[in-house]
Amino acid sequence: MKPIAIQASLLALYLTVSLAHAEHAKVELTIESQGKQVTSFVDQTPPEIGKSPRPVLEVKAGEPIRVQWFFQNVYPNKTLKDVVMHFYVARSDKVGQKELPDTTGDVELETAFDMDFKPGAKAGARTRFVIDKPGVYMVRVESRQTQSDHEHFAAVDLVVK
């Protein structure tokens, strides 16, 4: 077999395997304050904390913080039924913390909704808030109940000085 034919065969095999393991969601989380902005893109569980390092945004206490996020079903022919989208801002111990913060206690902001996502459907939210207490916070949006062996999320570490 010629080298070009081998390369073409390997490319075809790679594309077939990639499509077979295609992800079911696209998630994006953008945080902006005082002209500084970071964006976090889709990560997945397990592990609960994900596989990619989180972007970090530093802000001053009392500054307005704007958040925008969206979740999209990227399956071409499958509806994701009864998916729960959960968004929260919770105090963390440190930047890059390897565990999820405790969301049973003092959470700065939390919202959730349940909906069906038809193929290609997209939902999200925009919000604005202020944190007055200095510290490290995790901002996270996550899917739950997608009837998959993993869930998707996007997260940012927010340092309030």
Write the pLDDT tens digit of every residue in 15-56.
Answer: 443 333 457 789 999 999 999 999 999 998 888 888 899 999
Cis peptide before 46 (omega within 30 of 0): yes
Domain boundaries defined on the chain = 23-160
Is residue 10 over pLDDT 90?
Answer: no
Secondary structure class of 18 (helix, strand, coil) = helix
Pairing of strands 122-130, 64-73: antiparallel
pLDDT of residue 128: 96
Mean pLDDT over each residue of the chain, to the nearest integer: 87
| CATH no. of 23-160 | 2.60.40.10
Query: Which pLDDT band holds residue 121 (cuts at 50, 70, 90)?
Result: very high
